Amino acid sequence: MVDRSIDHPLQPKRRWFLKTALAIGAVGGALGALVYWHRGMSNGKLTEHGRDVFRGLTMGIVGPMLPKDKAQREAIMEGHLTHTEAFLNGMPNVLQIEVNALLGLLGNFPTRKMLTGMGASWSEATEDELAQAIETMRLNPLPTTRLTYQVLRSLVCMSFYSNSAHWPLTGYPGPVQI
């Protein structure tokens, strides 16, 4: 016979543990399905969500260098996104999968809110909201979130600055002729 007087009310029971494990598994599965559904790349092309995330990150990171004229800014942004697609396709498949997952995380409201604190989508966010979201990732106490920031910032910067058409925007005249 089991003595119930020694059971502590705060001790987890087996059924509680199983219910909790099932609930965590369901939530994790749902978030995983959202990330897959809103993934950043498909068949070597940036999806709508991937373009949205990269557009927002680019505006937040290199936005001050872009022209103020909306038409010029949009033309440069479209060229940048096309160059980013080519840049990402040149990366190893393993890195493409990881970037795809990061874009999926930032493309979905629940995970974007957890990582950046931003409620608006990347395309609807103001410049201040984009700057705050990027700063939240940069200064986050979790190392994985800081690493996410560093990876995405590096991708945006490498893709932007490696395009020689963007050099005049930055004030770089190009390589010196020898």
Encode 51-75 in three state secondary structure. Answer: HHHHHHHHHHHHHHHCCCCHHHHHH
How many structural domains is the chain composed of? 1
H/E element, 19: helix 14-37
pLDDT in tens, the chain (178 residues): 565 655 555 666 777 777 777 777 777 766 666 656 667 777 888 888 889 999 999 999 998 888 889 999 999 999 999 999 999 999 998 998 889 888 988 988 888 898 899 988 998 999 999 999 999 999 999 998 999 999 999 999 999 999 988 888 888 888 888 8
What pLDDT does 44 receive? 81
Give SS3 for 135. helix
pLDDT at 122: 92
Q: Report the C-alpha gap between 136 and 149 in whole angstroms.
A: 9
**Looking at the DSSP assignment, which residues form a beta bridge with residue 41?**
46
Three-state DSSP at 134 gives: helix
Q: What angle do CA 45, 51, 54 make, to 5 degrees?
A: 120
DSSP 142: S
Establish if 178 belongs to a structural domain: no
Q: Is residue 31 a part of any domain in this protein? A: no
Domain that residue 144 falls in: 58-167
Q: What pairs with residue 45 in β-bridges?
A: 42
What does DSSP assign to residue 43? T
Report pLDDT for 139: 94
pLDDT attached to residue 7 = 58
